[in-house]
Amino acid sequence: MPKIRLLIASEHPIVRTGLGKLLNGTQDFEVIAVVDLSDIVKAGLELSPDVFLVELTDVGLAGLQATAALMRAITTAAVAVLSSNENPSYVRSLLAMGVRAYVARSASNSELYAALRTVYCGRRYLDPRLSDSITDMLVGRKTAAIRNPQVKRLSGREAQVLRGVARGFTTKAIAVKLGVSDRTIQTYRERIYEKLELRTRADLVHYAIAHGMLNSTESTS
């Protein structure tokens, strides 16, 4: 059986080097490249790996943005994410992008290998360390909503407000940009939270990234 060709991406040189050495020493995998997250799309297009292993930090949006960019550029990419962030909205965002596996950073080597094999075979893998409530949410009723983005239910103005909030603009700044009152923006925000079944600004940011709403060509106005 041919080895599974892996591309490893992380913004931390030590992490990606360590993962490369670990996986190259197995009989099932061949690491064809280890790259910074900023290079993942270019490397993926050039090398066409069987599976992408993406290590994401718990803070910041760079990792989510890079993963979203990869999924837009290579819609069939088989992606496994290694992270210790178990925030439900974070994991939902990954699945909404099309990521096939979430692996906890505390996973054993054998668990990581199993996740990569599962992804290679076209199936989804969710780390057993996820709480039962999170797992139920991800694989149960709400998974259908992830596959059919509710962003389509937003009005054009609501989508503009969502982008503004996700980009870090204040209510007042968005109101000035759109030429409406602060209260009107607050009303839009409340509608967005209700329609998308989200709770916090972090949820909005993750959702916007997952659904490609923060592309450079997008405008708040």
From first to last of the 221 residues of the chain, give the pLDDT tens digit. Answer: 789 999 999 999 999 999 999 999 899 999 999 999 999 999 999 999 999 999 998 666 778 888 888 988 998 999 999 998 877 777 877 887 889 999 999 899 999 999 999 999 999 998 887 766 566 655 554 444 444 445 568 888 999 999 888 877 889 999 999 999 999 999 999 999 888 888 777 778 878 877 777 664 444 54
The CATH class given to the 4-146 domain equals alpha beta
**CATH for the stretch 149-210:** 1.10.10.10
- Segments making up each domain of the chain, as ranges: 4-146, 149-210
DSSP string, the chain: -PPEEEEEE-S-HHHHHHHHHHHHTSSSEEEEEEE-GGGHHHHHHHH--SEEEEE--SSSSHHHHHHHHHHHH-TT--EEEEE----HHHHHHHHHHT--EEEETT--HHHHHHHHHHHHTT--EE-TTS-HHHHHHHHSHHHHHHHS-GGGGS-HHHHHHHHHHHTT--HHHHHHHHTS-HHHHHHHHHHHHHHHT--SHHHHHHHHHHTTTT-TT----
Write down the pTM of the prediction.
0.72
pLDDT at 113: 96
